[in-house]
Every structure is written in structure tokens, then in C-alpha cells.
Amino acid sequence: MVRVIKGPITSEVHVITPFVHQVVRLHNSPGTDGASVDVYNIVDIRQSANLEVGMRIHTDVDNSQRIFYSDLNGFQMQQRKYYHKLTLQGNVYPMPTMAYLQDKNKRVSVLSAQSAGVANLVPGAIDVMFDRRLNQDDNRGLGQGVLDNHPTPSRFRLLFESRLQNIEDPDPETSFPSLLGHLSSLALIHPIFVMPRGQAATEPNMSSSLSLLTRPLSCELHLLNVRTLQNSDDQHELQYVPKETSLLLLRHLPSDCSFLSPSLSCTPGEGKVKLSDLFSVAEVKKSTQTSLTMNKNLVDLSPSVNLQVEPMEIMAIQVHLS
């Protein structure tokens, strides 16, 4: 069954098959959500046997060598290639957050909200694995069949981009997502959760809006975390009292500048940030760059000086707040 829903803000196409309920959604929005196609699936193969379900996306990308890219734990992209000497399952690679095909003038990206397997079995097509059900062991260490399936939701975004100008080598060993691809992936991985209030709950005294930053960060900087540090456990009276010290983690997203990003609401910069102008609810009195585990202090930083976060680097900063 196919059902089409049209509206001024969102339009949807529902495709219902015996195993998959798929919703393809378009948003009429000037932001990053309006620059891609949203795909939501619910896969239920509990009534089947020895079946694997996936999604094949056919494109007009010219990758006759069947080379594509998928990420490594959401941190960097890795070149993948189809090898004829391998079996079908040997050509399936992990896709933690994204994968894309590209040629000299365009790129098609699949952004994923959950980890999945991905392959390029046919030139110009991306295959994404959903779920499988086996009556017998697959000789991969499980020791039994895969029969504990449940209705499994999955969500993806399809991003279609054109280069500002053609390039000579469409399959370099090192490749990066565009800035729009990064931000669309982050919006998919870190969604906004709506928590409804129960009828018997009292009305909390909360502000209608809250902004912890004085101004948005530049597009290429991702605020990974601001974590309040804990006092030492050997002081019982301070065991659950938070310190006035926090760990700030900033990541510089590496991007391919050959793609136009018209839907960005932020301003691209050079990976610079000034800690004294960062927070609107507290003042940074002192800052120290540390290792990611905070086991080693590297160098003292001045909060009033612009910090440079290098591309593909994660900077850990211990900040003392007023």
C-alpha cells in the first residue's frame, strides 16, 4: 500500500510492505532539515525465515570502480571498495553514522541515526542492511540461529550535493564530508526529545527559553560536552558536591569545501573560540588544556585569547567557572 500526504510544511510518502513500513519525508524548511530527504523505517520480519532485509538507493553517480566511503566511529571517513574475489558479505562494511558515493561533480550521502552495514554491490547504488532472521547458525560464533527479532526502527537522511567545480580525482584515499553533511548528521544523531508532562504532575517553575552560550559557535566547531567534575571520593562531606571546575570538549569538524552549503544557520570560521565570551551563565576565570582523560595538564590558557582547534582534533580544556 502507498499513501501520500501533502502539506505546506511537510510532505510524506508511506510505503507499507509485508516486512517494512517506510516513510519518506520532505520538509519545507530553510535549515539543514530541509536540505535532505528523511527516511524512516520499521522492519518486522518475525513471521519469516532465513531472510535479510535491506534498502538499495539507486543514483546517477558514476562510480564504475565501485569505490565509496563510510565513517570510522563518526570521526573520519574511510575509502571502501568492492572486491570481486570476496563473497557478498565480505563486501559489506560498517556504517556508524554516514556513507557516500561521489564522482567528479556530485555526491550522494546516506546519513544514519544508528549503526548499520553498507555496501556498493551495484555501480551507482548504495545498499543499507536493516535486519536478518536465520533458522541456523551462521558460523560466526553465535552458536545458534537469529530468532530473537523485534520490530526495529531505523532513520536515515539522503543528502544530494553538487560540487562548485569538477575535480580530477573523484576517489581520493582521504575524503571528508561537507559542512552541510556534518551538521545534518549531528542533527540526526542528537535529536530533540519531547518529554510530555503527566496530568497529575505539578507545573515546574522553568524558563520558556535558555541559552547557555553568548553566541553560536562557528559551523566547524562541535561542542562535544561540558562535564562538571566531581570532588574526590575520600572526602565524605564533599562526595556529591560538584566542583566549580568543568571539562570542556571541542571538536573541529574537517570538511570538504568544494560543496556549496546554502542551508547553514551558522557562520563558518577557522576553528577559533574565545573562552571568556563563550558562556552566558558563568565566567571562565582560569583554563588549562589537558589530555582527553584529564590525567595530564598540557598548558595554561588565557580565557581572553582566541583558541585554535585544529581540524580533526578534539581539544580538552579544564575551565574554572565563577
Q: DSSP string of 18-45?
A: SSEEEEEEEE--SSGGGSEEEEEEEE--
Q: Which of 61-65, 164-168, 240-244, 245-249 has the lowest mean pLDDT?
A: 240-244
Quick one: average pLDDT of 160-188? Answer: 91
**Does the pLDDT at position 233 exceed 70?**
no
Give the model confidence (pLDDT) of 49-64 as tens digits. Answer: 899 999 999 999 999 8
Annotated domain spans of the chain: 2-189, 221-321
- pLDDT over 70 percentage in the chain: 99
Give the model confidence (pLDDT) of 19-41 as tens digits. Answer: 999 999 999 998 888 999 999 99
Quick one: average pLDDT of 89-93? Answer: 93
- CA 81 to CA 100: how far, in whole Å? 12
State the chain's mean pLDDT as an integer.
90
**Which class in CATH covers the domain with range 221-321?**
mainly beta
Cell 571562565 belongs to which residue?
A: 284
CB 131 within 8 A of CB 148: no
**Which class in CATH covers the domain with range 2-189?**
mainly beta
**Does the pLDDT at position 202 exceed 80?**
no
pLDDT at 231: 76
CB 58 within 8 A of CB 124: yes
C-alpha cell at 291: 589530555
Partners of 73 in the β-ladder: none
pLDDT at 201: 73
